[in-house]
Chain A
């Protein structure tokens, strides 16, 4: 994901180069990310390239931020509940 963001559209061959995981593992991971709408594949000639779905990625970050905020609130309530009784 980080490499696709930084380097732009890449083929599976380029993505596999230098990574210490198999092409199969990367393909599986790409399919999961695509299924989640975070990346998409495009065809350039005979090559299949993968690129980041920027809008979707922003959306995903926003969702995560919100869930993250909910954890903050929940943990704050936990802290108050546990520490509150010490006083």
Chain B
């Protein structure tokens, strides 16, 4: 059966940098935490669970947590997670997860990064309501973050 329109998100972004560089930004936990706004340490490795506090203002009480599935150097990186911030005091292990996949492709001018998140149809609607980092009000804060970042890194 075809996947429904509510089941997945597909994104792609062209990054003007070599695949090797993009891979590092995705898989080095320090670099990853910078742009994803989470505080994590250690190394990503297939089968490994990584977690740490969310760094978004107002959401610091939530924990970001994923389990890595595949890592194919400079090509493919996937993890499973609960697509919402989680309360560290609760057990979510029995709840369905979504699969996030990063795919890197060398193209003229840089690296094409494709991101797919799938499996939303299995997530109860009230869970989907709690977005994974912040809510719509959070977006104005985020836009501010980006503007600050750009002005600091011209």
Contact = CB atoms under 8 A, between A and B. Distances in A.
Q: Do A and B belong to a common assembly?
A: yes
Interface of A: 1-2, 19, 21, 25-26, 29, 32-33, 35-38, 56-57, 59-61, 63-64, 66-87
Contact of B22 (A38, A57, A82): A82
B1 A19 contact: yes
A1 B6 contact: yes
A79 B153 CA distance: 12
Contacts of A67: 9, 83, 117, 120, 128, 131-132
Contact of B11 (A60, A72, A82, A86): A72
B122 A32 contact: yes
Interface stretch (B42-50, B71-79, B142-150): B142-150
B22 A75 contact: no
B113 to A, nearest CB: 7
What are the 8 tightest A-B residue pairs by CB atom distance, in nearest-first order?
A1-B4, A84-B153, A63-B128, A77-B35, A60-B6, A78-B35, A75-B13, A37-B125
Contacts of B120: 60, 63-64, 67
Contacts of A37: 124-125
A74 B1 CA distance: 31
Contacts, number: 127
Q: Give the residue among B6, B22, B115, B131 with the most A Cβ atoms within 10 A.
A: B6
Interface of B: 1-2, 4-6, 9, 11, 13, 15-17, 21-22, 25-26, 31, 34-37, 83, 113, 115, 117, 120-125, 128-129, 131-136, 139, 142-143, 145-146, 149-150, 153-154
Contacts of A70: 131-134, 139
Nearest to B98: A67
A74 B122 CA distance: 24
Contacts of A56: 125
Contacts of B13: 75-76, 78-79
Contacts of A19: 1
A36 B36 contact: no
B107 to A, nearest CB: 14
Contacts of B136: 66
Given A63-B131, A87-B154, A74 B124 contact: no
